Structure 1
């Protein structure tokens, strides 16, 4: 039986580089975001996760759906899929690691091997659209 992990992600690109984060003790980077709490919609979950992980406030009125992507979940048994629903959004504050986040970086397309499987698909999509350098 396959299982799907439902996650949300915030796409932030500056000068052809995408914001990624690495959790404490992990060896792979992820596009920032996380799982919803019971009863949360996409907006509520994404705003909460980004505030917790990066200490910035996404502006709810600026949220714009980018796409939903699915792949084998990194570090999970074969057949466990992650479904990542991605949004663009403007924000206020200064991006800095918080909670379980150990490091934030800005990646080019060539850094794709350093991110999770689903994020590699997202990198490909962003590259196709000419958004990643």
Structure 2
């Protein structure tokens, strides 16, 4: 049986750079966001996760779903699929790593190799067209 991990993730660009985060103890950067809790919508999850991880509030009326991407999760057992629902949104506040986030970084397309494989795929699909 295939294990599917449902996540909600935020795509935030500054020109060609994309906001990425690295969790404590991890070697790769990820798109900010996280697992969708039972009974929670992807939209609710992205608002909660971004507040918890980066200390900012997404502006509800600007939240727009970009699409859902699925693939093998980084450091997940074989056969575990991560299904990432990605959103864009404006935010209020000052971005600052919190909770399990050790570092945030604006990665350029040349630095994409620092991201987990799904992040590399998603940013390539969205920004290299």
TM-score range (shorter-chain normalised) is: over 0.9
1:99 is the counterpart of 2:99 = yes
Q: Show the 5 A alignment for 1:1-133.
A: 1-129=1-129
Taking the aligned partners of 1:81 and 1:114, their CA distance within structure 2 comes to 20
TM-score (norm 2): 0.96
Structure 1: how far apart are the matches of 2:3 and 2:37?
18
SS in 2 for 1:126: helix
Q: Take 2:41 and 2:84, find their aligned partners in 1: how far apart are those partners? A: 14
Q: Displacement, 1:127?
A: 2.5
Equivalent residue of 2:26, what SS?
coil
SS at match of 2:127: helix
Whether the 8 Å CA contact 2:8–2:43 is kept in 1: the answer is no
Aligned length, in residue pairs: 129
Checking the alignment, whether the CA contact within 8 Å between 1:56 and 1:94 is kept in structure 2 is yes
Deviation sequence 1:45-65 (CA, Å, 0-9, x none): 110000000000001111111
Distance (whole Å) between structure 2 residues aligned to residue 93 and residue 106 of structure 1: 17
Could you say what secondary structure the match of 2:94 adopts? coil
Cα RMSD of the aligned pairs, angstroms, is 0.9
Structure 1 length-normalised TM: 0.93
